[in-house]
Amino acid sequence: MLRFIFGRITMRSVGPLIIALTSFLLVGIIISLSFYLADERDDMIVQINVAGRQRMLTERMSLTVHKLEVAQRWHAAQQPLQEQLQQDMLLFEDILNSFKYGGMIKDNYENSIRLRASSKPELLALFAKITPVWKAYHKHLQTLSNDQAAPQTLLTWQSLAQQEAQQLLLMN
């Protein structure tokens, strides 16, 4: 029986079958690779957009600090500015932690975005530099976002910002 089945198989009859199986396998590999590369590209696009959002948050927090200084000088209402500063600080912290450890964040349209934890050595080194800088600024920002921020706190903030301008650029 086996001789009857295998007796008819020749290289001539197996050749097209091998070509068909090889082609099928090759197409499967190409399609899988395309999906993988598209997913990696989408992740990179999301990370670039979120990093831009972090940069804008640092600018907005700096502007809010400046507005707080003006409001204090003119004895204007500071509470809305302090609330805005508090919200921006929380958002910055959430995004920074999501970049480092992975997690869900909301975009500007309240859509959920999943960030994967960073594993690239250059990003991990950058996070190691950014984290202590952010903690120092967060401490001063926290003081400014409280109800009774003293005028000397603003002067301390300005002095700190001038001395650490290069480190602030790391957060951008």
- Got the DSSP string for 28-80? HHHHHHHHHHHHHHHHHHHHHHHHHHHHHHHHHHHHHHHHHHHHHHTT---HH
Contacts of 46 (CB under 8 A, 6+ apart): 113, 115
Give the pair of three-digit tokens for residue 3. 């001789």
Sign of the Cα pseudo-torsion (14, 15, 18, 24, in order): negative
Per-residue confidence (pLDDT) for residue 86, from 0 to 100: 92
The DSSP H or E segment spanning 26 is helix 11-73
SS3 content of the chain, % helix, strand, coil (to 5): 80, 5, 15
Give the pair of three-digit tokens for residue 32. 């899988």
Nearest partner of 146 among 57, 72, 73, 83, judged by Cα: 83
Structure-derived torsion over alpha carbons of residues 101, 103, 108, 110, reported in degrees to the nearest 10: -160
Rounded Cα gap, residues 15 and 17, in angstroms: 5
Which residues are paired to 105 by β-bridges? 113
Distance of CA 112 to the CA centre of its chain: 13
pLDDT by residue for the chain (172 residues), tens only, comes to: 445 555 555 556 666 767 777 777 777 777 877 777 677 777 788 888 888 888 888 889 888 888 888 888 888 888 899 899 999 999 999 999 998 898 888 877 778 888 888 888 888 888 888 888 888 888 888 887 775 555 566 666 566 555 555 555 555 5
Per-residue confidence (pLDDT) for residue 126, from 0 to 100: 86
pTM of the full predicted structure? 0.68
